[in-house]
Chain A
């Protein structure tokens, strides 16, 4: 490739732009005291460092094919350039904000750009003042860029080892609180103190983690195990798989006791979204009906549970959890039919917006004073008892976790059976082409209504369990975000795929729970993750075969040509 200044400059500015963005929206400053390793490397600094690393990685990638040394030099230039946006930021803060301090002005810039603070300048210049700090910043960005380039330019085995070492170390640093609480449950206190000081990794421990991961990655332990597994004879593989399943079940059972209360609550939420996701997967993934108002059925389940079991003034009948659960599911089915009916003739985006409208209507009705005598209006329903299972009151998140796991497994089982049934094939035919499906003799009305009502039933079941867990339900908990979350997680996991739903829920529900300390920036990361995911892996993490083919843009013809070969073999 020709020596092209534009590529170098663009990569530099892109990397620097990321650092500028993260600093300008306040992430750098907010997390400048949240140390990852020891008391010298903080999350805030990591955000700036990402800029330099990105610049280096991009440039090194662009010139990897030619002389490695010159590629490295070019990356360094990119690194120098990547500091320019940060210098601009420092300049802006100095000119706009710092000059105005103490002066009486009509318009304070700080009032507009709330995160353009003198403290940010101090962080970016390492507290050394402008004269020393600016050259230092340029130097650091250059070094980081070089580091990024090294990860790319080293022979791939070395590069991969270093990269995975870095990622694991930083990951453990970022999730230190959760890792700590897990370690505290499974090991003793001294070991925890050995690894973590307060919230941050000990520098020594960080080095050990880095080296261990790098060595494991370098010697390709994962690959060795995998190829060893493949070389085993089939019966042994079968036995191994059974052992794996048993281990998985054991892990599922002991997991909440390993991770402590807080993470169990997170797991509970994940499980609940798995239930919802599996239901929505039937509607969107199998039947191809885009439903943006899915939260409505969740709300119906929760409110049914609330009204039937509550010991408060709104409670009717004093049902127990176990008798109310089937009723809640039934209510979900009925509402699935009722709301499914008017939209039978709508398709595509019209269907999406009408279902979204249903979701909003139901939330607003639930909030209004009109229906307040029945379901509490904005005050919601209080005093919903926790379920009692053979004398055990399930007040802990750990116990409720088992409930959602059981529910999820039940729903997953039903979903798999449905998918492989006549009905499942009808759904998929309808998803591919409604008109052709109808011409083939599929009763669209029945098929669609079944999809809506079964999906609604699963969601209502999740809602009922949710109500029993939280004890008090309020209409504002049932907002559009839940529908969006459920839809996003089945797409990120892989539309139509059941393990995908679990993976999607872990990523989009579990991960934000772990990142609680990132407060308002969690949703920012959620949004960025959705965009990146759709740009680079639109079929999701664990895609279903048909969808993968469609989304990868492979022609159906190829598939047909491959078919006979497969059949001969």
Chain B
């Protein structure tokens, strides 16, 4: 029995198993050392977790756009980070204006809603335009072709907005109503992080209800199951795909404003690149094509990023752990995909369709 088991596994499996064990040992040792050394107080850990959740909810909103498009077209919309940038970059001007006339402080709710609406509509417009010009003609092309188109679109959008709005760094104005700390379970948490997290969760729930309860949502699910059969059932494929891009764009635009509230600095034409990459990572982490997976993957990635460098790397005695933050996010991605090649919530799609 045991002999047969050993005959059936190859040395690749053994290697991967050893790799998994080593990874777990490294993580456990790192965590153990940090915890034993008691380098940080529980309040500091809580700060890191909430900052991670807020950042993660932004990743999650962008990741939903990736995963929606992937679920339906099976393509990586590499330019999605730029869709996010378009909304955030445009809304920064309105934010500065509203702040200067005092509206953002007198009516923070209305003001921020206006920002979100502007950012979401710009991002939606860009996403729909992108679909129409760059992706629709390539719908039946082999996979690499839309990927390269998306990379091209990404450059084009970055430098279009650079040309339009300039290369300077802009920043969102501080919103007075969002300053200050709130007490959550005995920990002091910045209000803005809670607001961002809460608003993002509301949007995600709304998306979930839309996909599950409405007719359009049903059509989207049908198209992602099987495009041809859906068409035979009378679903307007083009309309569904445009809606998908529009929803993804709107969520990305909203994420752009949330990001501006959370991290006001650094609004410029290249700002979408790394969040886009991270969000894509989050989508893959959760199992690409899976909506709850993208949401959880985003939140998880945010928390991993903010918590683990301190938790693990410092425990292992690696200096300047925060420099390695981004590397860590990708390392976790690699590890998780080695454990579960289809992502956390993914079905075994990869074998069939990829």
Contacts and interface: CB of A to CB of B under 8 A. Distances in A.
Say whether A and B bind each other: yes
Closest 6 CB pairs of A and B: A25-B163, A348-B354, A530-B152, A527-B155, A527-B156, A357-B330
B164 A350 contact: no
Interface in B314-342: 318-320, 323-324, 326-327, 330-331, 333-334, 337-338, 341-342
Interface in A190-215: none
A370 B319 contact: yes
B137 A535 contact: yes
A290 B101 CA distance: 51
Nearest to B273: A480
B163 A26 contact: yes
B142 A550 contact: yes
Contacts of A488: 148, 151-152
A365 B327 contact: yes
A66 interface: no
Tell me the dominant secondary structure on chain A's binding face: helix
Given A106-B97, A342-B19, A538-B145, A369 B12 contact: no
B149 A531 contact: yes
Nearest to B78: A484
Given A361-B327, A491-B148, A551-B141, A527 B93 contact: no
Interface residues of A, number: 62
A528 B152 contact: yes
Interface string A111-124: 11111000000000
A368 B167 CA distance: 27
A526 B153 CA distance: 10
Contacts of B350: 346-350
B144 interface: yes
Given A346-B341, A347-B354, A527-B159, A357 B167 contact: no
A139 interface: no
B166 A114 contact: yes
Interface stretch (A32-40, A77-85, A300-308, A517-525): A517-525
B114 interface: no
Nearest to B167: A520
B354 A491 contact: no
A112 B319 contact: no
B5 interface: no
Contacts of A484: 151
Interface stretch (B172-180, B196-204, B254-262, B276-284): B276-284
B173 to A, nearest CB: 13
Given A353-B281, A526-B155, A25 B160 contact: yes
Interface of B: 10, 12, 15-16, 19, 70, 76, 93, 96-97, 100-101, 133-134, 137-138, 140-149, 151-160, 162-167, 277, 280-281, 284, 288, 318-320, 323-324, 326-327, 330-331, 333-334, 337-338, 341-343, 350-351, 353-354
B167 to A, nearest CB: 7
A472 B166 CA distance: 32
Contacts of A352: 76, 147
Given A342-B338, A535-B138, A360 B330 contact: yes
Contacts of B153: 527, 531
Nearest to B137: A535
Given A113-B165, A352-B147, A527-B152, 14 more contacts: A25-B159, A27-B163, A107-B93, A341-B12, A341-B15, A348-B143, A357-B333, A370-B319, A520-B163, A524-B156, A527-B154, A530-B152, A531-B134, A535-B149
A524 B155 contact: yes
Contacts of B334: 342, 354, 357-358, 361
Interface string A341-384: 11011111110111011101100110111100000000000000
Given A106-B97, A524-B155, A350 B337 contact: yes
B15 A368 contact: no
Given A354-B337, A535-B138, A361 B330 contact: yes
A368 B158 CA distance: 27
Contacts of B320: 368-370
Given A342-B19, A530-B152, A350 B341 contact: yes
Nearest to B156: A527
Contacts of A341: 12, 15
A338 B33 CA distance: 28
A520 B148 CA distance: 20
Contacts of A358: 330, 334
Given A368-B327, A369-B320, A523-B159, A113 B164 contact: yes
A463 to B, nearest CB: 20
A527 to B, nearest CB: 3
Interface string A466-490: 0000000000000010001001100
Nearest to B284: A353
A370 B324 contact: yes
A369 B324 CA distance: 9
Contacts of A365: 324, 327
B281 A357 contact: yes
> Which residue, of A21, A26, A342, A523, has the highest number of chain B Cβ atoms within 10 A?
A342
A445 B10 contact: yes
Given A341-B15, A348-B354, A360 B318 contact: no
30 contacts: A25-B164, A26-B163, A106-B101, A107-B97, A112-B165, A290-B147, A346-B337, A346-B350, A347-B354, A348-B143, A349-B354, A352-B147, A357-B281, A357-B334, A358-B334, A360-B327, A360-B330, A364-B323, A368-B323, A370-B324, A480-B277, A487-B148, A488-B152, A491-B148, A520-B159, A527-B159, A530-B149, A530-B151, A530-B155, A538-B145
A251 interface: no
A218 B154 CA distance: 40
Contact of B323 (A367, A487, A526): A367
Contact of A523 (B140, B155, B324): B155
